[in-house]
Amino acid sequence: MATRLDRHKDKKSIFFDFINRFSTRLKVIIAIHILFASFILTIDNLDYAAKVSLFAFLSAMTLWIGTKIPAGYVAVSLIVFIVFMKASEPELLYHSFGEEVIWLMIGAFIIGEAINNAGLADRFSQSMMNRAKNKNFILKSLTYVLCISAFFIPSTSGRAALSMPIIKQLGDYFSDKEKEVLAVIVPVIILMSTSASLIGAGSHLIGVGFLETSTGESISFVQWLIWGAPFAIVISFLSLFIIKLVLWPKEISTDTLHTPMNEEGIQAKQPMSKKERKTILFIIVLIMTWMTETLHGYDIAFITMVGAILFMLPKYGVISWKQGIKSVSWNLILFVAAATALGKVLVDSGVVGWIEKEMIGVLHLFTDASEWLIVLLILIVTVTSHLYITSHTTRAIVFIPSLLLFGQMIGANPVGVVFISLIGMNYCVTFPVSSKALLLFYEEGEVTYKAGDLLKISFILMPFYILVLLLFYFTYWQWTGLSI
């Protein structure tokens, strides 16, 4: 007859047998979740809803990076988890489809399909390939084009939307591994070049608005151009170099170019069709209305949907309603809706406010610090802010007033504080949810990347971004009159 000790050993053996069935990766992920829960429970300044929301957000980041579970499934499941735990109302899920980014992306997919259907994407890619000597030339040319687009299209997601059909066409000339790298390069360059122009991001206008309201000072379009454009060009090409160095397949060289064109010969330039001319006209009108948002008052997402409707106009449009709706990646839309809600609930539950208070409290300890240390602290706070505030606009709304107040406490130049802070906030490369431009290329289908690759790039690129900012501040920017 088995003794109590024997029964205890049997139960222990069954438990360990059960645990051993799990893979090492799963054990690590479970351990990470336990650590998250243990840490969050010790935070006294967060209420129940905030703790659940923070745990769900950290869980999402872990599962996106560490597993192959579909990103959309993870995001939707964790939103359901938050509601199930009574940390938020069911409207958190329902209202997620009412976010601006969702309609912007739906419109962007439709416009991209129209550009592709009209043949413009193919014409542009063929034109580039006819001039291309190697893949390195293509990557550099894309970087130049994306940098220039920051002066005409005041939206990172708008630039990503217009570039997507072109990238899909160029993808035919790259291997599958190279396409993954291309899917990282394009949105990252779009984000890095944002600093070139005052209209490159809505957060710039919000930050300058706070500056004008608080101090009566401002940053003009030309002044921003003088300070921002050189930095944007340098950091864009540095990002291109780092991504190629880290992610580009070692067995494939960028100095050679093997494409279908090599076999068929360079195609003769064909006259532009009526559909192409109509598409170009619609795009010009779309870009002009994007650029004049402050005049007519309609936001980027609404304008994009108006453009999508024009492209699908019966008889006079470029594509049909059925073609437009079919082009939308609904898998990606579901993911973005839920991921955006995860970011929003951090703000609504008070998590972001708690983080802001803790960070500003630390900054106040350095009121007597040297100039380089103050600049470094501001950069660390703003560059890392994308890790817990996924919305670029929200980052500006949350941090600029606090940093202006901090600047007044230490007698700093408010123009310098705002400009450096906004440039710091433009870094948002760590997670797919950190930027709409990254989301557009994530899990898209034809040209996509892995979340792990993005994280790997960010580990290297983030320190370089801060270092280049410091170098610019203590050299070129101070020579041209910017200081704190």
Q: Per residue of the chain (484 residues), what is the pLDDT tens digit?
A: 456 555 555 555 554 555 556 667 787 888 888 998 998 888 888 889 999 998 998 888 788 777 778 777 888 899 999 999 988 898 888 888 887 777 877 887 788 788 778 777 667 666 666 666 677 788 888 888 888 877 766 667 777 777 777 777 777 777 778 888 888 888 899 999 888 887 677 678 778 877 877 788 888 878 888 899 899 999 999 999 999 888 888 766 655 555 554 444 445 566 777 888 888 888 888 878 876 777 787 877 788 888 889 999 888 888 889 888 888 878 777 877 887 788 778 878 888 778 777 777 776 777 677 888 888 888 988 998 888 777 777 777 777 877 887 777 777 788 888 899 999 999 988 888 778 788 778 765 666 778 888 888 999 999 999 999 999 999 999 998 888 8
Given this model, what pLDDT does residue 11 score? 53
Cβ atoms of residues 174 and 409 within 8 Å:
no
Cβ atoms of residues 150 and 193 within 8 Å:
yes
* Amino acid identity for residue 396 in this structure: A
Given this model, what pLDDT does residue 427 score? 92
Cβ atoms of residues 342 and 75 within 8 Å:
yes
Q: For the chain, how far is it from start to end, CA to CA, in angstroms?
A: 81
Given this model, what pLDDT does residue 21 score? 60
Nearest to 108 by CA among 190, 177, 185, 171: 190
Given this model, what pLDDT does residue 422 score? 92
Using the Cα atoms of residue 35, residue 37, residue 40 and residue 42 in order, give the sign of their dihedral.
negative
Given this model, what pLDDT does residue 119 score? 74
* Amino acid identity for residue 8 in this structure: H
Residue entry with tokens 């259907």: 117
Burial of 68 (C-beta count, 10 Å sphere; 0-12/13-18/19+): exposed
Largest CA distance in the chain: 93
Given this model, what pLDDT does residue 15 score? 47
Given this model, what pLDDT does residue 327 score? 80
Given this model, what pLDDT does residue 288 score? 81
Given this model, what pLDDT does residue 259 score? 53
Helical segments of 317-475, H only:
321-327, 330-348, 351-363, 371-383, 392-409, 414-425, 436-441, 451-472
Given this model, what pLDDT does residue 261 score? 44
Question: Which phi and psi (to 5°) does residue 430 adopt?
Answer: -75, -45
d(CA 59, CA 42): 17
Nearest to 203 by CA among 333, 344, 385: 385
Given this model, what pLDDT does residue 423 score? 93
